[in-house]
Amino acid sequence: MSLRLLIVYTTTGGNTRETAELAAEGASSVGGVEVDLYNAYGLDASILLEGDAILVGEPTWGDGEHHADFLPMDRSMGELLAPEKRLTGIPAAAFVGCDRAYRNFGRAIELVEDRLMECGALIVQRGLKIELTHNDHSRVFTRQWAHDFVLRAKGEMPPQPHRPAMTREQADAIKGVSLADRERRNQSGLRHS
Ligand SMILES: Cc1cc2nc3c(=O)[nH]c(=O)nc-3n(C[C@H](O)[C@H](O)[C@H](O)COP(=O)(O)O)c2cc1C
């Protein structure tokens, strides 16, 4: 069965774009999948009606809020898709940028998931938090995350509980940072990997 996957994202510094591109690579490694990747800025939510499955991503911004560029898409989802739940039955998942220096770590995950569910989408996989820039470990993880999402969307893997959202420790695991590494980083005041 072929599947059309839409990936829509916004970015300022490029980290979330890289997540979207890695997800596209991972998804494309599953046979019979066509991937379309869009920067959401300037698009309205009707684009989401073209997918059999949807990944939506943005950097967490403000104080645990939507990224400014994502706000028009969020608003448009609320106006065009939510009232009639036009994404009913569409498998979806979210990915966000984050930084533990902020109080609300990667909270855009919940905002995106809540909007998708309001539109009727099914969140079939836990949202991905990528802290700041990717490293080789998180690149491998992200490709696999998207690969597994596609299998879930095709019904070839069971859905995964998506709440609670990833903790700081789980975001560390995605980048291959151990507890001991984290303690060393904290002591040396180092944040970026
Ligand atoms: C103005 C601003 C506000 C931010 N607010 C948060 C936040 O509340 N929570 C969080 O986890 N990360 C926050 N971040 C971190 C970004 O999500 C993170 O740097 C991300 O990697 C940026 O992605 P991009 O390169 O795709 O723009 C903030 C960054 C900026 C510049």
Q: What CATH number should be reported for the domain holding residue 49?
A: 3.40.50.360
Mean pLDDT, rounded, for 151-163:
98
What integer pLDDT is reported at residue 186 of this predicted model? 87
Q: How many separate domains does the chain show?
A: 1
| Cβ–Cβ < 8 Å for 8, 40 | yes
pLDDT single digits (tens) 5-55: 999 999 999 999 999 999 999 999 999 999 999 999 999 999 999 999 999
| Cβ–Cβ < 8 Å for 193, 132 | yes
Ligand 1 atom closest to 96 (CA)? 17
Ligand 1 pocket test: pick from 19, 41, 61, 191 the residue with the most ligand atoms within 8 Å of its Cβ: 61
pTM: 0.96
User: Can you give the residue range of the structural domain that contains 163?
Assistant: 3-188
Ligand 1 atom closest to 58 (CA)? 26
Question: Is 193 a domain residue?
Answer: no
Mean of the per-residue pLDDT values of the chain: 96
Nearest residue by C-alpha to atom 21 in ligand 1: 132
Question: CA 188, CA 139: separation in Å to the nearest integer?
Answer: 25
| Cβ–Cβ < 8 Å for 139, 26 | no
pLDDT single digits (tens) 58-67: 999 999 999 9
What integer pLDDT is reported at residue 190 of this predicted model? 65
Identify the H or E element spanning 96.
strand 91-98
* Ligand 1 centroid, distance to 39 Cα (angstroms): 17
